Amino acid sequence: MVVATPVRSASPAGGAERPVRRRRPGGGIAYLFLSPWIAGALLLTIGPMVASLYLSFTDYDLFSSPSWVGLENYRRMFTEDGRFLTSVWVTLKYVLIAVPLKLALALAVALLLNRRGTRRGQGLYRSAFYAPSLLGASVSIALVWRTLFGDGAAFERGLAALGWETGGWVGQPQYALFTLIFLAAWQFGAPMVIFLAGLKQIPSDLYDAVAVDGAGRWQTFRTITLPMLSPVIFFNLVLETIHAFQAFTPAYVVSGGRGGPSDATLFYTLYLYQRGFTDFRMGYASAMAWVLLIAIAIVTAVIFRSARLWVFYTDDKGKS
């Protein structure tokens, strides 16, 4: 196979030269190396997405042929299904609390590790803080979390010793969601490493300049650190927001797959799983998946749209 490349040739009428596309041999090798990725994208991503989009307009229970129902799944979702709206509300609360808390912890620890005079043992601390990010999404850690926050478990006994009787966390509707938020915040290692890399890229002469002007720590953080780190904050915000909308394993394990108590931990993805693989309503679950995809796309677009107001980029000369 050959690849066409533009070259210029003289016009027969003596006018301006016009580009002529010439084929370059060897382009087929590129497609040969790309073929595994192309096959994977078609078979494992695009194909299932197209099938899911079709099933979202059908009534399909895995045991009989899909029957076309049009927009009925979407209409029932927003007008008749109370648990769907509950799952949306629970997921929104989780995203709005867990993402800022996680990023704030990550930034605070990154600032501590980036302080002058803390070079010693920094690699060890960085690895120790990053480890929960590798383990936090696993089933085993979710089981440990349920044990720690269960009724009469270590966390409740610790609070009781301080005089705060809660009656358990996992079994109480008012506290159950916060156990999952704490678990998400505990996994701040990945954004922390990215923040730390961003902090090391801030020129030290900026801090020296504001120090000469007599700026305090808060003023230095507000006028130098935050603006220079805003592209990294934006990057982490987008990633963590998308990840939070897709949270599933902790809610499934901690609540035993039911989203309880009283649907307090009924995440959107968990309810989608229940409708698809417990109730065998694959058409309805497919419609929910597409609503989630559109919602994440809208939220991401809003974050990108707002970036022009609070994200500052600098060129190679340090000018914004």
Residue 170: pLDDT band with limits 50, 70, 90: confident
Question: Rounded to the nearest 5°, which phi and psi values hold at 103?
Answer: -70, -35
Residue identified by tokens 């500052």 is 312
Residue identified by tokens 């990057």 is 235
Tens digits of residue pLDDT in 123-151: 777 777 776 666 655 677 777 777 788 77
Residue 3: pLDDT band with limits 50, 70, 90: very low
Other CB atoms within 10 A of residue 8 CB: 10
User: Can you name the residues that pair with 320 across neighbouring β-strands?
Assistant: none
pLDDT at 33: 87
Q: What is the mean pLDDT of residues 153-163?
A: 78
Residue 30: pLDDT band with limits 50, 70, 90: confident
Q: How far apart are CA 191 and CA 106, in angstroms?
A: 6
Q: Which amino acid is it at 139?
A: V
47 to 65, 128, 265: CA distances (angstroms): 19, 41, 32
Higher pLDDT, 93 or 124: 93
Residue 56: pLDDT band with limits 50, 70, 90: very high
**Contact assessment for residue 271 and residue 83, using Cβ atoms and an 8 Å cutoff:** yes
N-term to C-term CA, the chain: 45
**Residue 244 clears pLDDT 90, i.e. is over it:** yes
Q: How far apart are CA 93 and CA 178, in angstroms?
A: 10
Higher pLDDT, 21 or 297: 297
**Residue 153 clears pLDDT 80, i.e. is over it:** no
Residue 188: pLDDT band with limits 50, 70, 90: confident
Q: How far apart are CA 96 and CA 244, in angstroms?
A: 9
Tens digits of residue pLDDT in 270-294: 999 999 999 999 999 999 999 999 9
User: Can you name the residues that pair with 59 across neighbouring β-strands?
Assistant: 67
**Contact assessment for residue 240 and residue 102, using Cβ atoms and an 8 Å cutoff:** yes
pLDDT at 124: 72
**Residue 5 clears pLDDT 50, i.e. is over it:** no
**Residue 237 clears pLDDT 90, i.e. is over it:** yes
Q: Of 26-40, 216-230, 289-303, which has the strongest mean pLDDT?
A: 289-303
Helical spans, DSSP H, in the chain = 27-40, 47-55, 72-79, 82-113, 122-135, 139-149, 154-161, 173-186, 189-200, 204-212, 217-220, 226-245, 249-254, 268-273, 282-310
**Residue 31 clears pLDDT 60, i.e. is over it:** yes
Mean pLDDT of the chain: 84
